[in-house]
Amino acid sequence: MSAICGTDRPPVDRRALISLLKRLKSPEGQADPYPLLADLRSMGDVVRAPWDAYFVTGFDACSEVLRGRNWLAPDFAWQERQADTERWEAVATQEMTKTLSRLNAPEHTCQRRSLGNLFDRSTIARLTPLVEEHVTRLLDELAGKLRWGEADLVSTVSEQLPISTIGSWLGIPPEDYAHILEITHNQVHAQELLPTKKQLAVSAEATAHLRSYFTELVKQRRANPGNDVLTGWIHTWDAQEPDREAADEILYRLTMFVTIASLETTATLLSAMVELLLKEPGRWAWLGENPGYIDAAVDEVLRYDPPIHINTRIAADDTVLAGVPIAKDSMVHVMYGAANHDPRRNEDPDSFDVRRSGTHLTFGGGVHYCLGAALARLEARTLLTQLLKRFPTLRAVAPADYASRLVFRRVTSLSVAT
């Protein structure tokens, strides 16, 4: 029995919190979540959730959770101790629990090591011309559509660039891209804070498709090895895992997870980048005249509007976070968006300013730090460079539309014209 009983603490005005979460999920809340997240942060750095968990809103507290040894990913051992079996034993949840992001040491260390530094400087240098080519092709398509009026940036460019990039890097045939995008969008529901039965069912179906697709991809690559990254992973795992079936299972999980981890996240970054830069008159033109700020602009977008808003960790032991006692096994929801807008870390946080050199937690921190950060930045920088050159008079026709989500932000459409 734990010495600290988290449930004894009175919740911060539970009704106000539930209403805030509902507003956050609404179209208005998704279009501009930051005033609502500021309200949440004003309730404390660590706020009791209406369920058995805590929201962590302050930058330093979030950083402590991500980097501290006291905090673990919600792995199988933890899930087995939970009462909500419908949620934690759901197929889609269990399948995600086998992936890198939900593993703890020693399995996490072993699998992560097998991947190495996926996008080190030399790999990024090698991938740069490839990403440039994809961007040029996608912007040719955008130009073709804009000739007739407005076009949707999301479906034409933002969703296509990440799948084209990861697809050519892993050797996924282009004719499969649409299928992978669809199943990725459907899988994500299981990772929401409180998925409904219906959402878990949609995710279960998508999970089965992901399993059969990526298992087959690994099998095909075994049969036809090439000079590609997946063939390299096959060699690595064959050398360290004598059981071929076990090796193939890990290879499926790694390939599937690296793919889906790269898609919605990067697409949201690309769409949010264009939206934010077109929002204020003059921003787009200024950046076109000052391209030296492109990298800074990408990082300010990452700070201002992180594609992932929440990540969950578990207290490994009874502990205290930002003065709040937290019992072993409690869930804490790290709120990246709230943390990045913490005025104690970034002054005047709600103003978007490419010259600010701000700090953010958008790619996480500690042992689970995002493996694809350099690739996401490459895609954003390359797209922005070409967009500014080719479409200096680009404008948004209407505000972007967002999916109703709390964890993974998703821009569903952004109409642009010149």
Choice from 49, 92, 100, 154 touching ligand HEM (CB under 6 A): 100
Q: Cβ of residue 197: shortest distance to ligand HEM, in angstroms?
A: 27
Given a contact cutoff of 8 angstroms between Cβ atoms, the answer to whether 387 and 294 are in contact is no
Footprint of ligand HEM on residues 230-259 (CB under 6 A)? 257-258
In angstroms, what CA-CA distances link 230 with 110, 234, 361?
Answer: 17, 6, 29
Given a contact cutoff of 8 angstroms between Cβ atoms, the answer to whether 367 and 288 are in contact is no
Choice from 2, 70, 97, 101 touching ligand HEM (CB under 6 A): 101
Rounded CA-CA distance 329/74 in Å is 9
Closest CA to 356 of 345, 372, 370, 368: 345
Position 204 contacts ligand HEM (CB under 6 A): no
Choice from 311, 312, 330, 340 touching ligand HEM (CB under 6 A): 311
- Among residues 142 and 308, whose Cβ is nearest to ligand HEM? 308
Q: Cβ of residue 263: shortest distance to ligand HEM, in angstroms?
A: 8
Q: Cβ of residue 262: shortest distance to ligand HEM, in angstroms?
A: 3
Helix axis angle, 177-187 relative to 197-223, nearest 10°?
140
- Among residues 218 and 258, whose Cβ is nearest to ligand HEM? 258
Choice from 58, 307, 325, 337 touching ligand HEM (CB under 6 A): 307
Q: Which residues pair with 282 in a beta bridge?
A: none
Which residues, 6 or more positions from 359, have their beta carbon under 8 angstroms from its beta carbon?
59, 303, 345, 346
Which region, judged by CB under 6 A, interacts with ligand HEM, from 55-63, 183-191, 290-298, 305-313? 305-313
Given a contact cutoff of 8 angstroms between Cβ atoms, the answer to whether 153 and 396 are in contact is no
Encoded amino acid at 86, one letter: E
Given a contact cutoff of 8 angstroms between Cβ atoms, the answer to whether 159 and 185 are in contact is no
One symbol per residue from 352 to 391: x for binding ligand HEM (CB under 6 A), - otherwise; what is it?
A: ----------xxxxx-xxxxx--xx---------------
One symbol per residue from 151 to 180: x for binding ligand HEM (CB under 6 A), - otherwise; what is it?
A: ---------------x--------------
Which residues, 6 or more positions from 357, have their beta carbon under 8 angstroms from its beta carbon?
296
One symbol per residue from 64 to 93: x for binding ligand HEM (CB under 6 A), - otherwise; what is it?
A: --x---------------------------
Closest CA to 47 of 261, 351, 209, 37: 37
Q: Which residues pair with 47 in a beta bridge?
A: 55
Which region, judged by CB under 6 A, interacts with ligand HEM, from 240-248, 285-293, 306-314, 399-407? 306-314
Choice from 186, 187, 266, 382 touching ligand HEM (CB under 6 A): 266
130's tokens: 């490839």
Rounded CA-CA distance 206/253 in Å is 14
Q: Cβ of residue 268: shortest distance to ligand HEM, in angstroms?
A: 7
Report the interface residues with ligand HEM, using CB under 6 A: 66, 100-101, 112, 166, 257-258, 261-262, 265-266, 269, 306-308, 311, 362-366, 368-372, 375-376
